[in-house]
Amino acid sequence: MAYATIQRGASKDGYFAVPAEGSSFFISQMQAVQFGVRENQELTESEFYQLRTQVLSQRCRIKAMDYLARREHGRRELELKLQQKNFPQEIIKTQLDDLAAQNLLSDERFAEQYIVSRQRKNPEGPAVLIMRLQQRGIDRSVAETVVQQWFSDEEAAQRAIENAAQRLGRKYADDTFKLTHELRRKGFSSAAIRAYLENRVTNDKCY
């Protein structure tokens, strides 16, 4: 007796691999052609699970590539999205490993773009950015390396604290103590804040 049978879907737009017991899975017309599936085909148990892995792996990769085409993702973020689509964990892991090996998935690249986005919307210092990246599933060592590399550009680092201070300055323009406190909360170091304030005083004197 066959373990499963291939049956045409009610809408005629694909097939289902239906086991005698357990859950069936859908096979699109394109996948049916690709994997040599035909109506009323009987499958052994090993053939059923092999076909299931092939079908779900392809579907998982397509979904992952769809997410990555919209923007960069960290591995953990992408993993959670695929889990929400009910793909088996072992298939998710295999597909993410392949995408990372092909450099289509990169925690480093995601971290870089995340930093750029945050600095554009709400400038922050290294400490807060590292924390935010960790909250998004980025390993601390990766987060620290990417953040340090970004802030090693003196012009970018200066622009970040200036933009943050300008936004805060609307509220704390005449209160250096509170401005310093808020910049620390945003993750800027005491040294960076001190340098910014000294530079601001120098510029004010020039005028």
What is the structure's pLDDT at 25? 95
Burial class (CB in 10 A: 0-12, 13-18, 19+), 191: exposed
Helices 140-151, 107-121: inter-axial angle, 10-degree rounding: 50
Is the Cβ–Cβ distance between 159 and 97 less than 8 Å?
A: no
* Residue 206 in this model has a pLDDT that exceeds 70: no
Tell me the C-alpha distance between 25 and 134, whole Å. Answer: 36
Per-domain residue ranges of the chain: 4-101, 107-206
What is the structure's pLDDT at 131? 97
Which amino acid, 30?
Answer: M
* Residue 201 in this model has a pLDDT that exceeds 70: no
- Distance, first Cα to last Cα, the chain: 92
- Residue 19: what are its φ and ψ, rounded to 5°? -80, 160
pLDDT tens digits, 139-180: 999 999 999 999 999 999 999 999 999 888 777 767 889 999
What is the structure's pLDDT at 172? 73
What are the helix (H) ranges across 27-153?
Answer: 29-34, 45-70, 75-84, 89-101, 107-121, 126-135, 140-151
pLDDT tens digits, 88-144: 999 999 999 999 999 999 999 999 999 999 999 999 999 999 999 999 999 999 999
Is the Cβ–Cβ distance between 172 and 113 less than 8 Å?
A: no
Question: In which band, very low, low, confident or very high, does the pLDDT at 6 lie, cut at 50, 70 and 90?
Answer: very high
pTM: 0.85
What's the alpha-carbon Rg for the chain, to the nearest Å? 26
The CATH fold of domain 4-101: Arc Repressor Mutant, subunit A (1.10.10)
What is the structure's pLDDT at 173? 67
H or E element, residue 191: helix 190-206
What is the structure's pLDDT at 202? 60
pLDDT tens digits, 61-91: 999 999 999 999 999 999 999 999 999 999 9
Average pLDDT over residues 45-62: 97
Tell me the C-alpha distance between 53 and 33, whole Å. Answer: 16
Residue 56: Cβ within 10 Å count: 19
Is the Cβ–Cβ distance between 77 and 105 less than 8 Å?
A: no
